[in-house]
Structure 1
Amino acid sequence: MSASIVTSPPVVMAPRSDGFEVVWGVRGLSRGWIEWEAADGSSGTVTSDAFGMVPQDHRVLRVRVDGLPSATAVRVRAITEAVDRRRVRHESEWKTLRTLDAASDTAHFAVWNDTHQRDDTLRALHDATPDVDVLVWNGDLCNDWKDPSWFTSTVLNPAGLDVSDGRPLSIVIGNHDVRGAWAYQLEDFVATPEGRPFTAFRIGPVACIVLHTGEDKPDAHPSFEGRVAFEPLRAEQAEWLREVTARPEFADAPYRVVFCHIPLRWIDETVVDYDADGYDWFSRMSRDAWHESLVSWGAQIVVSGHTHHRTSLPATVEFPYAQLISGGPDAETTSDEAATWIDGVATAEELVLTMRDLGGEVVHEVRLRPLA
């Protein structure tokens, strides 16, 4: 791939019941498009963007595929051509995926978090994780964005892997993902269904809400140098939550799961002194904005990362949703910040979320009954 005009495999993100988006890295000004084929013999080519142009850029190409039937297996490939006299062309390998199926009786998803550009951890997670309906990458993909070249090697081709092969990505933004001089460019490399860093989707009986918890300190903290505005983003998400959870496909779901990077609950909720280098172990600001809507909706569990401490908090009267927090970035299983991943399997009888370390040992298991 190093000698080619492409710098990553085509990465499938933002899966929906009627399509998905494909994102891939390029070297030099290039144009690209997507070809797809279904088992019934239908096929198509997606050659234009929202403004009527063939997708083109010097670093990253993105193509949104719409209009497919739900629960449909398709194979896709990306075609790339250099925009110069050479007309160098690259055809990716075909990869197979399935559009989401809200009517299915079952669902299977996986969750990674806090990989922090650790190649050894990413390789181990990649090997451990099976093909699933959706892989939720739950924040802190990076440390800080100090070099713009890191977007491709961190998001699109981490550790040289094709992480969306057999498992389309839903990327959750973590607090480290919004740090560094180049963080404002992350949105060029992350696709979401509605173009915002929060979304909702249905996998069989499981309704999933993805939220952006922002930073672990207030916007006015001097370390951010006036470059962040997460307080209005939380307010926007609060308004959106009230609307999206009222939609029939989410209001009637048997299982209701929230993914956000910073937890909404923690084992020690002492007020933080930000002036003394304190930071949020849980996002009180997010919880204050969203708690009422989550309780009204019937959220059963919030799945997070951030703390690097593997923690399971059961639901209580005050907090009717459980909180499950996965591990840190270390590949060494005996480390205090050892990496884990979560396997979520739903049937008509129950939703089981199993947290495992990289050696396969079960760390936590949460079982949820369907809501009436």
Structure 2
Amino acid sequence: MSKKSISRRGFVSLVSKAGALGALISTPFISKAGELIKEEEEFGFLTLPYLQSPTATSITIMWLTNKKAFCWIDYGENGILDKKAYASHNGLIEANCGLNKIKLENLESGKVYQYRVVAKEILDFKPYKVTYGKTLNSESYSFKTFETKSDNVSMLIMNDLHDRPESIGHLINLNKNDPYDLIFFNGDMFDYQTDEKQIINHMLKPCTDAFATKTPFMYVRGNHETRGKFAREFVNYFDNISGNFFFAFTQGPVRFVCLDTGEDKEDTHPVYAGIVDFDHYREVQAQWLANEIKKPEFRKASFRVVLMHIPHYYSEEEHGSTHSRKMFADLFNKGKVDMVICGHTHTYKVHDRKPGTHNYPIIIGGGPQNGERTLIKLKANTRKLSLQMLNDNGNEVGSYALGKDARKQDWSI
């Protein structure tokens, strides 16, 4: 492992100052005839479609337009887009908005579908008359639904990229042509939340450029995604299975449990200005987790893996870490969790089991600087769970293998 030249806290301070400077010098206005006016944009897509919340029989497709519109999805099999889907709530079809989220349901397990998104501009929305403008069609894309009874799962995991969008494509390219079912972002993809444009340019666009039109991703927040004036809108741009940032799902032989560890400081810390409530939030998740580990789908899974941003050990004894330990550690042991995967510390490391404390390995991904970024590759079948961690040069910097029969562990870093 290379020696870090700057601490996690020092890095965060530097990028925060740089972000503030960028906000000051950028402007969305142009000058014309001595006046500052806002440039009139032609109706268009702000993002390509990106896949969310995958199951064996459904998937959610999201995208954004730059103006308000009525949108839907044409989809089908074998290149024939003969079905139409739109979002409808309480008798009203979703319209006159720019952020679109449509769930395709009643799909067949393990099948390939083609789709395109369609956007019809709304020029005027009066009580008894809607005036439409242009209609845009995206290209056709395809996805494959999860298989109900699969013996395998493969996942790529990234964390702590901190507003470095180029890292997404770079790290995925390290995987080369090795197949994977989905990508998981394990927090702190941003420094803080400023606006919609930041989410588009620093995450959604690099994701759709690299994979997200055909392969889904899931997301749990890091502590930095809870910060900034746009943090409360952030959740609207993603669609996890539960609709929250903590959830559980089964793919292949693995039950995945995803937790939102919240902030790393006490709720009373002055930087939060009295408007956070993460201790209670973690308590709610602990109650949820106590029920989750009793469920048949958890207990009968060949393997059980937890994904969360802040590690409850090996994280400088910060409050977010110690309170997560208080809330979750005993439940992880009681539920016989096989592996916990985290980020946050910016120092990649494989921590082996420590019986009586954590009876499972804790894997921590690195980031965000060049030389410290990591791609974690997780694979499992009914007999074996294995993890490989690559640095951004493609070199293996950590691994762990767990066999189901004897619960035999092999690890290295």
Work out whether the TM-score is over 0.5.
yes
Q: Distance in 2 between matches of 1:355 and 1:164?
A: 22
Q: How does 1:218-367 map to 2 (within 5 A)?
A: 218-266=266-314, 269=317, 279=318, 283-317=321-355, 318-330=357-369, 332-333=370-371, 338-367=372-401
Cα-to-partner distance string for 1:274-317 (whole Å, 9 max, x where unaligned): xxxxx45x612112112222222211111111111001111121
Q: How many residues align?
A: 356
Q: Distance in 1 between matches of 2:92 and 2:73?
A: 14
Q: Which has the higher contact order (CA 8 A, sep 6+)?
A: 1
Runs of 4+ in 1 over 4 A off after TM superposition: 39-43
Q: Distance in 2 between matches of 1:89 and 1:268?
A: 54
Q: Relative to 1, partners in 2 of residues 1:296 and 1:36: Cα closer, same or farther, differing over 3 Å?
A: farther
Are 1:132 and 1:166, in contact at CA under 8 Å, matched by a contact in 2? no
Where does residue 66 of structure 1 map in the other structure?
105
Where does residue 158 of structure 2 map in the other structure?
112
Equivalent of 2:76 in 31, 37, 42: 37
1:47 counterpart = 2:86 = yes
Are 2:162 and 2:190, in contact at CA under 8 Å, matched by a contact in 1? yes
Partner AA of 2:269 in structure 1: H
Are 1:264 and 1:323, in contact at CA under 8 Å, matched by a contact in 2? no
Partner secondary structure for residue 154 of structure 1: helix
Aligned-residue offset at 1:80: 1.3
Where does residue 28 of structure 2 map in the other structure?
none
Aligned-residue offset at 1:118: 0.7
Q: Relative to 1, partners in 2 of residues 1:160 and 1:44: Cα closer, same or farther, differing over 3 Å?
A: closer
Where does residue 121 of structure 1 map in the other structure?
167
Q: Distance in 1 between matches of 2:77 and 2:102?
A: 18
TM-score (norm: length of structure 2):
0.80
Cα-to-partner distance string for 1:223-272 (whole Å, 9 max, x where unaligned): 11122222222112111112222222221111110100111221754xxx
Q: Distance in 2 between matches of 1:40 and 1:244?
A: 40
Aligned-residue offset at 1:102: 4.5
Partner secondary structure for residue 80 of structure 1: strand
Q: Relative to 1, partners in 2 of residues 1:251 and 1:303: Cα closer, same or farther, differing over 3 Å?
A: same
Q: Relative to 1, partners in 2 of residues 1:115 and 1:4: Cα closer, same or farther, differing over 3 Å?
A: farther
Where does residue 272 of structure 1 map in the other structure?
none
Q: Which has the larger radius of gyration?
A: 2
Aligned-residue offset at 1:57: 4.9
5+ residue gaps, structure 1: 270-278
Q: Distance in 2 between matches of 1:233 and 1:267?
A: 20
Partner secondary structure for residue 293 of structure 1: helix
5+ residue gaps, structure 2: 1-40, 124-130, 407-413
Aligned-residue offset at 1:44: 3.0
Cα-to-partner distance string for 1:152-189 (whole Å, 9 max, x where unaligned): 22342138725414421111111111101111110110
1:10 counterpart = 2:49 = yes
Aligned-residue offset at 1:50: 3.3
Are 1:11 and 1:162, in contact at CA under 8 Å, matched by a contact in 2? no
Q: Relative to 1, partners in 2 of residues 1:345 and 1:219: Cα closer, same or farther, differing over 3 Å?
A: same
Q: Distance in 2 between matches of 1:309 and 1:368?
A: 23
Question: Alignment RMSD, CA only?
Answer: 2.3
Identity of matched residues, %: 26
TM-score (norm: length of structure 1):
0.89
Partner secondary structure for residue 288 of structure 2: helix
Q: Distance in 1 between matches of 2:293 and 2:384?
A: 21
1:185 counterpart = 2:224 = no
